[in-house]
Amino acid sequence: MADDETAGSFGPSKLGTKEYWDAAYEREKTNFEDHADVGEIWFGEDCMERIVDWFREGLLVQTDSRILDIGCGNGALLVEMAKEGFTSLTGMDYSQPSVDLAIAISNSENVNIAYQRADILNEEDPIFSADRFDICTDKGTYDAISLSPDDVVQKRQTYVNHVHRLLKDAGLLVITSCNWTKEELLEHFSSGFESVDEIRHPTFKFGGKVGTTTTSIVFRKKDSG
Ligand SMILES: C[S@@+](CC[C@H](N)C(=O)[O-])C[C@H]1O[C@@H](n2cnc3c(N)ncnc32)[C@H](O)[C@@H]1O
């Protein structure tokens, strides 16, 4: 199947390149230093709050669960989780300026979060030899990888395999996407994961059809990936 048949209704974009994110977070770092602006909250504050609410409910999570945010950006989601009392938080992003910004914001909020520069697609990065995680979160990173200008289908499969590797047995992936539907995510992750929950976002109605602009699925790692 050709890439464009499996890439959904969107094609490659600058959002799928590291150069874009490095330049974006360099700008956001300067803005934060100049006037304490933390920058973009991807998919909005309400979306982030609904994810944090799901963690706060605590049905599948403990406050000391080992949590990794993949493609953490400015670290805003982790900062909110730290304020809710989660104690074992790590953020990773392949963009060094993003990691620098996230550290500066966390320090200013006086919260304890570990950050490291790492590429989820590069298994040589030290994060892959660290202790495994109970939970991985992703808000917009699988989407960004899905916009890569080359080898996009291969990169998506590598992403699924690598998240599987980073998680403990029966570990969870809480993934939020605005590019893929629930059905598409279920299909993409079916080789290594089963869906155990969904975080509901507002729906819209258009032309008699009901849809959502944002999808959050909670996957549990299956034995083999
Ligand atoms: C849409 S932004 C979302 C940032 C953050 N999760 C949020 O919700 O604000 C996508 C993020 O994924 C990061 N990213 C993209 N590809 C990555 C990769 N291969 N490994 C690690 N991070 C990546 C980008 O640097 C960027 O921070």
For the stretch 62-95, pLDDT in tens is 999 999 999 999 999 999 999 999 999 999 999 9
CA 37, 146, 27 angle in degrees (round to 5)? 20
Which residues are within 8 A (CB) of 73 and not within 5 positions of it... i.e. 6 or more apart?
25, 39, 40, 42, 93, 98, 102, 140
> Alpha-carbon distance 52 to 175, whole Å?
13
Q: Distance, CA 194 to ligand 1 centroid (Å)?
A: 23
CA 110 to chain centre: 23
> Alpha-carbon distance 44 to 116, whole Å?
24
Report which of 113, 103, 93 is spatially closest to residue 42, judged by C-alpha positions.
93
Of all atoms in ligand 1, which is nearest to the CA of residue 138? 6
* Spans of all domains in the chain: 3-221
The highest-level CATH class for domain 3-221 is alpha beta
* CB of residue 28 inside a 6 A radius of ligand 1: no
Q: Distance, CA 16 to ligand 1 centroid (Å)?
A: 9
Which value, in Å, is the radius of gyration of the alpha carbons in the chain? 17
Strand pairing category for 209-212 and 203-206: antiparallel
Q: According to the model, what pLDDT value does residue 8 have?
A: 47
Parts of the chain with a pLDDT under 70: 1-11, 204-212, 224-225
CA 24 to chain centre: 17
> Alpha-carbon distance 168 to 179, whole Å?
27
* CB of residue 95 inside a 6 A radius of ligand 1: yes
